[in-house]
Structure 1
Amino acid sequence: MIIGRKFALIRRMAAGGVGSVYEAQDLLVRRRVALKLLNPEYAHMPEVTRRFLREARASGAVSHPNLVTVLEMGRRQNGSYYIAQELVRGTCLRDHLAACGRLDAEHALDIMLPVMSALSAAHRRGVVHRDVKPDNIVVSTGPNGEMLPKLVDFGAAKVVKRRAAMPTQVGVLLGTPNYMAPEQVRGAHDVDSRCDVWSVAVVISELVSGRMLFTGSGDAPAVTYGQILHEAQERITAMLDDLPTDLGVVLAGALRPDRDDRYPTMSAFRRALIALDDSGVGTPKQTPVPGVSSESTERYLEPGPLEEHWSGGDDEGSEGPRSRRLAVDQQQPDSPELALSSGQTKGGEPTLEDQARAAEQALGRNALEQAIAAADDVLQDASDELRPRMWLVVAVGKLWLGMYAECEQAANNAMDAFEPQTTGWYVALGYAATARGTLGKGDELSELVEAIEEEPDEPNAARDVAACRLAIMMLRSGHREKAERLVALVQDSPLSDQHALVCAWRDVVYAELATHAGDVSVYLAHTEAATEHFTFAGDVRNACLQWHNYGNALMQLGAYERAEIVFREVLDLAEPMQLNLVPGALANLGFTLSRIGALDTAWQVESEALRRCGEQGNRRFEAVASIYLALILAMQRDLEAAVQLARAGVTLAATSPPTLAQAHAVLSAMLLLRDESTEALAEARKAMELLDRLGGVEEGEALIRLMLMSALAREGDTKAACEAAQEARDRLQLRADRIANPSWRRSFLSDVPEHARTLELAAQWLDDQRDSQPMGVAQIRNTLLGLGGPASPSERRAKSDQAHDTQPGIGEQEADED
């Protein structure tokens, strides 16, 4: 999916209550970024939106090497916002601590002193973070291999009043309970930089001691709040037992319940730690130390105003490695990507379970080949418990790589290994259905329908998703009745409106139904909704697929220039991940290029699409690429090759009735171009029979009807030709009437060549009472490729540019007619 017309989502990195963070590719400057998206449902909630915007502005107000850089902020067409930030490759400090157990004092200060420098810079700009914790610190690697900690997530930040230059923001209870200062817990509205002083001290104590100072769980924040307000001194004193003496004294000065007794600024706290480090951190205490008086920290404090009033201060730039800094590769894996998923257990070799999790995590990162290889390794010695999980990893990876036969085999193996009606079993069934349907094994889908219709003991989202996958394949195989039964099953599910993935797949099915009904506007709407749901469910692969489908909808509406942009964006995203949709996107791009007159490029792209579809074994896509290439060759006047490809398309589409109907129509057109009207009429009638049986097709309905009209007229059956023209015009107008936006409606009727030609011939034959004169060879050729029709390519491009300002994009509301 493309955000802001330039950011292609790669994978979801994190998800929170109101938004998600994705790794994304900036398609304009060709760099990876971290993209934070506000969930659309919060777009019209003022308080949530203000907090989101405050985060961007707070982060953007401060420039420091140990802070993540905000690159830009923007608003999407659905009203929600996004923030593009520097992408930091590294390990979350929480995971770094878990891997190490506990850090020595020197290592802890190597991480936290640069973070404190960044906070000092923020405080001087009037920005208080309010949520300093290990989860918001990333340990990355600098350009020279040095450890480079970065502070992230200013989502709870507050801008404080500073010399009347910045407005005061009313605070709310924001932050993470375990790291909140007492004044935050009490809900004080005048929280200042000293709450960050407290939080940093809590983090340092946790790093060195290996345990949290305040231990209440996130599910019971009241317990944590009670510890902070009523047990702080007792807990701080106990914590000192685990810390070097001098370090404990300094931290105690930062952990005063009364903020007026703490270090007045982050710089003062930082200077105390630097002085401590320069003199050597003491050894751990052997006996408890009573509460430390305020006088014990006096020697570390220097008089000065609060930092939020400073106009200057210490010149604290980037903190490079200090003389005794530990080498980064001694504390974390060599590869930042493996920091969270290396599968290495603490103090030993990775177990099979560790390797299995690494395979699953690689799949989540869209490292498909790596995931498959890791799963294959586990399968050699896997237990009965691990085997089905790894078969499932292989099935998912193979599907997205376009290896459908291997996907089917792996999915079948997983189904055999999982207990029936469990989540894993349903997931495997869904992938088996997609693989079989894509391979043209429509007759083998019925047994899966019977299996999935068995009622489980309790609702299962995986069952609903599998039913949607199966329904789509049944529709494409021409089994509409069974598909509608599956749709009803999902609609009756209590999870239908609650689970993001179920909502997404439900919209995909609705979009598929709309295509068969010829309702492109409904298709567009459901594709948009599915894209959004997949995005916020973290399923970037399927979001990319639906963005491709959105481009297909634009193509059907005649917005070829916009469709070209979308298909190129899809390829920019899908090619690096080697997704199976690449050949299909190439096929659609080639056809789109032919419609805007770029025939040479179209031929090259379509030929490559046909080659890749053949390698992939996707007979439906191969059929589509064949008939698209036939159309392009016809325009280039290579009729012999065009007819051969059209016939190949008919053969390849044998198991996909909607595509087969389109293939018969294209073959009919090729035969008309060779003046073989009798065989052309036979092919047109075959296409029409399929259209009548299916009740509609995804693409090519107007072409089917247009070829029937012209073939009948060429054969001299005037009456039948006029009847076909009347039916074609009525059907076309019915489909157009379903499109609410007037700009889209005009584009649909005038910019799709076969639509414009249908209306033109119907007007001549029916309204003007002329004889039904068949289209000539030149008219047929021009109609098929969109050249010399209602507008030239340059004129259509100008019209599309003009319509671009009025046609709705993703998330935009459709305009009403005046």
Structure 2
Amino acid sequence: MDPVNDTPNRATDGRADPLIGRVLDGRYRILTMIAKGGMGRIYKAEQQPLNRIVALKVLSVPPTDAGRGEDFRQRFYREASICSKLTHPNTVRIFDYGKSDDGIYFIAMEFLEGRTMRQILADEAPIAPWRVIDLLKQICSSLAEAHSMGLIHRDLKPSNVIITTHADGTEFVNVVDFGLVKDLEGAFGDGEQTQAGLIVGSPMYMSPEQILQGELTERSDIYSLGVIMYGALTGRKPFKQESALALMNCHINVPPPPFAEINPELEVSANLEWVVMTCLAKDPKGRFASVQELSRALSACDKELRGMVTGLQLEIQEGRVILPLELEEHLSRRPAGSSGPYSGSLTLNRPMQVEPPPPRRVGLYVGLGALALLLFIGAAVLVLVAGTDTPPEATPAATVAPAPVEPAPPVEPSPPDGAAADTPAVPTPAPPPQDKPAATPRPADKPVARPADTPVTKPADKPTAAQPADVPAEPPAEPDKPVAEGTDKTDPPPDPGAGDDWGKPQSDIRNPWED
């Protein structure tokens, strides 16, 4: 329904509205008209004797023969009964419905003081992405209840979304004008959807299957949500045509242009644009399977926007959003049916990694194990070769020389290499000293203590601590490479998050929101 600015006692064509001032069905005193649509008008009325202000929708039913009129009556009461059971906070409540003595069908609904989304977009579009996400998630919450009851809205557009503001400044969505009347046109003539002003839906927001009079499902409503999001984020409608026929052809055959073509200055994340384009898929199977799936995708984009997720790349399989496990678990903390404005209570203490982290400790453990083995072998060599605490230059060879079965003279140049040369020197000296370890237990305590302390604190300092003369030697730095590699793997990959600077480019269309 479109809001009107008429005087309280005049109809839109300038003639006096006969319903103004009338008490309809003995209960509703009509005060003024507030909106009009293809199948009726909405009035501000007072429900008596409760003195409650309501929005009274009066249906404009074309004259029909008795058979079709009865069909309409049955459809009206059946769907009105279903819609009256909608109780979600983001859905406008239906209080009453019926038919007056003079044949006027009416629906009494909750009266709201607020602005339509159409008015907000006309004044402020493009609006900030976080705000679009918030409003759309609330719309999804309303639709989820209706879809679960088999109701398809069929006419989602900004003028059917009323935004009220709470005392704390948060915006609250109220979805109006559900599919209650949209299915009633079947009572008139051969099931046509485009008869004598009974077009079901607005051409700007109609899905391809709706235009082609195909089967309508909840994915048809999702397409309409995609058109709303496209305009809210870019400040432009996806298609701009002079005639309704040309516009409908675009919905069926023409892909919507990328955001960058509409406005190069827009700062909308690739994931959020992907969500919009997925909603606008020509084939219903390419869209989200439900508004719950759309809401999950929007929640993931919200996390990315707030810097809680990095490296996010959304995908869809058979209508379901594929999310990383860690993000999936975090989103599940918020009840799926919850509604209302988003708060900052979901902020994480650390940025969430979208991809599962690689095994980072394995390299560290392997490096430490290899280092420990090298140090043990080096200690054994020092015990057998060094013999004393004297610097291992030419003296260690003299100390080991008295050993009876000593084939170590060819290994005399290896002691100066210390632990760094331990790996190649291990096969030769190790077997002979084992024959006579009796004279070496006492000196062994000192060399073992020195290398053992060194790798715990700083493995690279071992050669300089044990032998200052070996400072020029380069090999001691080589055992440190496994440790350095293991240490690097523990650091999380630096994945930049989405930027938070959401500047609002100015729209160059004066009033792009005519439905």
Aligned mate of 1:222, from 245, 250, 253: 245
Flag structure 2 segments of 5+ consecutive residues without an equivalent.
Answer: 1-21, 184-189, 195-199, 308-313, 325-333, 347-505, 507-515
Deviation per CA, 1:532-563: give whole Å up to 9, x if none: xxxxxxxxxxxxxxxxxxxxxxxxxxxxxxxx
1:22 correspondence with 2:48: no
2:472 paired residue number: none
Paired with 1:192 and 1:296, the residues of 2 have a C-alpha distance of: 15
2:206 paired residue number: 180
Larger RCO, structures 1/2 (Cα 8 Å, 6+ apart)? 2
Paired with 1:103 and 1:198, the residues of 2 have a C-alpha distance of: 20
Give 1:231-380 correspondences, 5 Å limit: 231-234=254-257, 238=261, 242=266, 243-280=268-305, 299-300=321-322, 315-323=336-344
1:80 paired residue number: 104
Paired with 1:41 and 1:158, the residues of 2 have a C-alpha distance of: 15
Distance 1:148 1:299, change over 3 A: closer
Give 1:627-776 correspondences, 5 Å limit: none
Letter of the 1:77 counterpart:
D
Letter of the 2:133 counterpart:
L
Secondary structure of the structure 2 residue equivalent to 1:279: helix
Distance 1:24 1:276, change over 3 A: same
Distance 1:9 1:255, change over 3 A: same
Paired with 1:38 and 1:197, the residues of 2 have a C-alpha distance of: 27
Paired with 2:156 and 2:342, the residues of 1 have a C-alpha distance of: 22
User: Shift of the alpha carbon at 1:106?
Assistant: 1.0
Letter of the 2:129 counterpart:
A
Give 1:54-133 correspondences, 5 Å limit: 56-133=80-157
Give aligned pairs, total: 296
Distance 1:54 1:108, change over 3 A: farther
Paired with 1:237 and 1:53, the residues of 2 have a C-alpha distance of: 48
Secondary structure of the structure 1 residue equivalent to 2:305: coil
1:197 paired residue number: 222
Higher radius of gyration, 1 or 2: 2
Paired with 1:79 and 1:121, the residues of 2 have a C-alpha distance of: 31
Paired with 1:259 and 1:65, the residues of 2 have a C-alpha distance of: 28
Paired with 2:181 and 2:338, the residues of 1 have a C-alpha distance of: 21
Paired with 1:296 and 1:76, the residues of 2 have a C-alpha distance of: 48
Indicate if the aligned counterparts of 2:127 and 2:232 stay in contact, CA closer than 8 A. Answer: yes
Aligned mate of 2:57, from 29, 36, 48: 36
Question: Going by fraction, where is strand more abundant, 1 or 2?
Answer: 2
Question: Going by fraction, where is helix more abundant, 1 or 2?
Answer: 1
Distance 1:49 1:203, change over 3 A: farther
Aligned mate of 2:33, from 12, 15, 19: 12
Paired with 2:179 and 2:72, the residues of 1 have a C-alpha distance of: 10
User: Shift of the alpha carbon at 1:50?
Assistant: 6.1
Letter of the 2:248 counterpart:
Y
User: Shift of the alpha carbon at 1:293?
Assistant: 8.4
Indicate if the aligned counterparts of 2:219 and 2:289 stay in contact, CA closer than 8 A. Answer: yes
Letter of the 2:246 counterpart:
V
Letter of the 1:35 counterpart:
L
Paired with 1:201 and 1:227, the residues of 2 have a C-alpha distance of: 15
For the aligned residue pairs, the C-alpha RMSD in angstroms reads 3.5
Secondary structure of the structure 1 residue equivalent to 2:222: helix
Indicate if the aligned counterparts of 2:315 and 2:323 stay in contact, CA closer than 8 A. Answer: no
Indicate if the aligned counterparts of 2:97 and 2:106 stay in contact, CA closer than 8 A. Answer: yes
Secondary structure of the structure 2 residue equivalent to 1:63: coil
Deviation per CA, 1:686-722: give whole Å up to 9, x if none: xxxxxxxxxxxxxxxxxxxxxxxxxxxxxxxxxxxxx
Secondary structure of the structure 2 residue equivalent to 1:172: coil
Distance 1:41 1:250, change over 3 A: closer
1:147 correspondence with 2:168: no
Indicate if the aligned counterparts of 2:239 and 2:256 stay in contact, CA closer than 8 A. Answer: no
Paired with 1:54 and 1:179, the residues of 2 have a C-alpha distance of: 26
Paired with 2:146 and 2:57, the residues of 1 have a C-alpha distance of: 21
Paired with 2:63 and 2:112, the residues of 1 have a C-alpha distance of: 27
Secondary structure of the structure 1 residue equivalent to 2:96: strand
Paired with 2:260 and 2:282, the residues of 1 have a C-alpha distance of: 13
Flag structure 1 segments of 5+ consecutive residues without an equivalent.
Answer: 160-168, 283-291, 303-312, 326-346, 348-818
Distance 1:122 1:171, change over 3 A: farther
Distance 1:293 1:155, change over 3 A: closer
Deviation per CA, 1:208-244: give whole Å up to 9, x if none: 1111112235xx2111111111112556784595433
User: Shift of the alpha carbon at 1:52?
Assistant: 5.0
Secondary structure of the structure 1 residue equivalent to 2:98: strand
User: Shift of the alpha carbon at 1:145?
Assistant: 4.8
Paired with 1:100 and 1:170, the residues of 2 have a C-alpha distance of: 40
Deviation per CA, 1:154-199: give whole Å up to 9, x if none: 256678xxxxxxxxx97836211111111111110x2110011111
Distance 1:49 1:135, change over 3 A: farther
2:158 paired residue number: 134
Deviation per CA, 1:277-329: give whole Å up to 9, x if none: 022169xxxxxxxxx98679975479xxxxxxxxxx9651432443399xxxx
Paired with 1:204 and 1:128, the residues of 2 have a C-alpha distance of: 19
Secondary structure of the structure 1 residue equivalent to 2:115: strand
Secondary structure of the structure 2 residue equivalent to 1:257: coil
Indicate if the aligned counterparts of 2:42 and 2:57 stay in contact, CA closer than 8 A. Answer: yes
Letter of the 2:154 counterpart:
R
Letter of the 2:172 counterpart:
L
1:659 paired residue number: none
Secondary structure of the structure 2 residue equivalent to 1:127: coil
